[in-house]
Amino acid sequence: MGGLLMPLLTEIEAAIRVRMSPELLRWFTAYAPKPGTRRKLSFETRQDEYFYDEKELLEFDSFLKEPWSHAPGARLHMPAGIVREIQAESHSGCAVCNVGNDGEAAHIDAVRDSHSNHPHNLIWLCPNHHTAYDHGHRLHATLDRPLVQYLKDRLLNEQVRCWRTELRAMQGVLLLIGELERLRTATQAPDMEMIHPSLMSMSTGTISTLRQIANRVLENEDEDFPHIPEERTLAQAVSLATDSDGLESIDAVNAVVAGVLEARDAYLDETFSTKCPLCDASSYHRGRRCPICNGSGIVASARADELDLAEFEDAVCPLCEGSRYHRSGVCLVCEGDGSVDIRDLEYIDLSEFEDAACPVCRESGRHQGEMCPICGGDGHVDIRDVGDIELYDHGV
């Protein structure tokens, strides 16, 4: 299938993808780090948030890994933004002894060989351990490259875990609030009265999970990677609103949901945001991460006012023609929806779904007296699948 348009990465998602802090990525958008070139990291802004194209991000990372140029006999210049990154990554303490005085960024692979100031080739060391590592490890025979690389990986993994926790926790809070809102709407529908007990059970379970996640946000906050004040306020308000043991009626549940929604709406106002108009804060559009909000469920209010959702309107799937099925299975283009976004039509390549004679039944639809297990009796398969069919397994 031809590639569909993919959403941009948020700052946290981009940081996790290349294991560099959001602050360093922003620095790369403002300053060209390598001498002899003006190349900076491309980005898009929405309100005060930065977003990155994944392909461009990975290409920029590869660009940083290539040898850095410098004048013969001169020291390779180390950009200030990268130095700050390495110091912050190690909490300003030597990665070996944790001494914080007079630390410095040291190359893991010697600069004379690597010619690289890529952040992953640098680690924060005190002068003693920097000297020990750079000069044949004479002071500490055990301070070798595998150990230094192990320490570097530990530092990077610590950061990535913090970013993932922040991303998942706050997204989890907002998504669960959206689910509670949808459940409340369902309970208010006249034709849903029969399933009120089921909806109430789902709501109380969601409220319990929401409280746990909000408390986790508050309890697990790292002083080096704090949540923004508005996120902390939202978590506190949600924790307070869901602190109730008397959820034995729809009215009691709806009262809790009202308090949670009030906290969510206050958060949106304080951050100049609103519910995503495409996915309605569900995080998904046609079974994939929403391309407008990148799965967060919210967007900047100013951006929402300017959005044109016409390109996301329904278009009949060109492969299954709206039937939701292709051959004997769910349509792989629309994933069983029957429709695709109008904007995706030009990217869908149907040539790989053209007919090819089934190599097992040879277009007869039957194999060894029964319906062919490969083509389901159709006699044909998609061209793209022919090379993956193991004829030996079917006695051909």
Residue 331, sorted as left (phi over 0), alpha (psi -120 to 50) or beta, turns out to be beta
218 and 132 part of one domain: no
119 and 209 part of one domain: no
Indicate whether 158 belongs to any domain. no
Token pair of 82 as six digits: 């990268």
Ranges of residues in the chain whose predicted pLDDT is under 70:
1-7, 46-48, 73, 136-142, 165-166, 220-228
Report pLDDT for 46: 67
Indicate whether 279 belongs to any domain. no
8 A C-beta contact, residue 74 and residue 88: no
Report pLDDT for 221: 61
211 and 334 part of one domain: no
Last residue of a domain, one of 101, 127, 153: 153
Report pLDDT for 157: 85
139 and 234 part of one domain: no
36 and 112 part of one domain: yes
Q: Whole domain around residue 251: which residue ranges?
A: 168-271
387 and 338 part of one domain: no
Report pLDDT for 183: 84
This prediction has a pTM of 0.54
8 A C-beta contact, residue 260 and residue 234: no
148 and 184 part of one domain: no
Indicate whether 322 belongs to any domain. yes
Alpha helices by DSSP H, listed for 188-300, are: 196-219, 229-241, 250-270
Residue found by looking up tokens 């509670």 in the block: 180
**Kind and range of the H or E element at 164?**
helix 145-187
Indicate whether 295 belongs to any domain. no
Report pLDDT for 2: 39
Report pLDDT for 141: 54
Token pair of 392 as six digits: 């030996």
User: Closest Cα to residue 145, out of 100, 99, 114, 115?
Assistant: 114
348 and 375 part of one domain: no
129 and 173 part of one domain: no
- φ and ψ at 150, to 5 degrees? -60, -45
Last residue of a domain, one of 120, 153, 186: 153
Question: 226 exposed, middle or buried (CB, 10 Å; 0-12, 13-18, 19+)?
Answer: exposed
For β-strands 284-285 and 288-289, DSSP reports them as antiparallel
Indicate whether 288 belongs to any domain. no
| Longest CA span, the chain | 82
CA-to-CA separations, 199 to 186, 195, 210, in angstroms, rounded: 8, 6, 16
Indicate whether 308 belongs to any domain. no
69 and 137 part of one domain: yes
Indicate whether 251 belongs to any domain. yes
77 and 187 part of one domain: no
Q: What is the pLDDT of residues 116-149, one digit of tens each?
A: 999 999 999 999 888 888 876 444 456 788 888 9
Report pLDDT for 238: 92
Indicate whether 125 belongs to any domain. yes
8 A C-beta contact, residue 339 and residue 315: yes
Q: How many structural domains comprise the chain?
A: 4
User: Closest Cα to residue 156, out of 288, 305, 24?
Assistant: 24
Report pLDDT for 139: 46
197 and 98 part of one domain: no
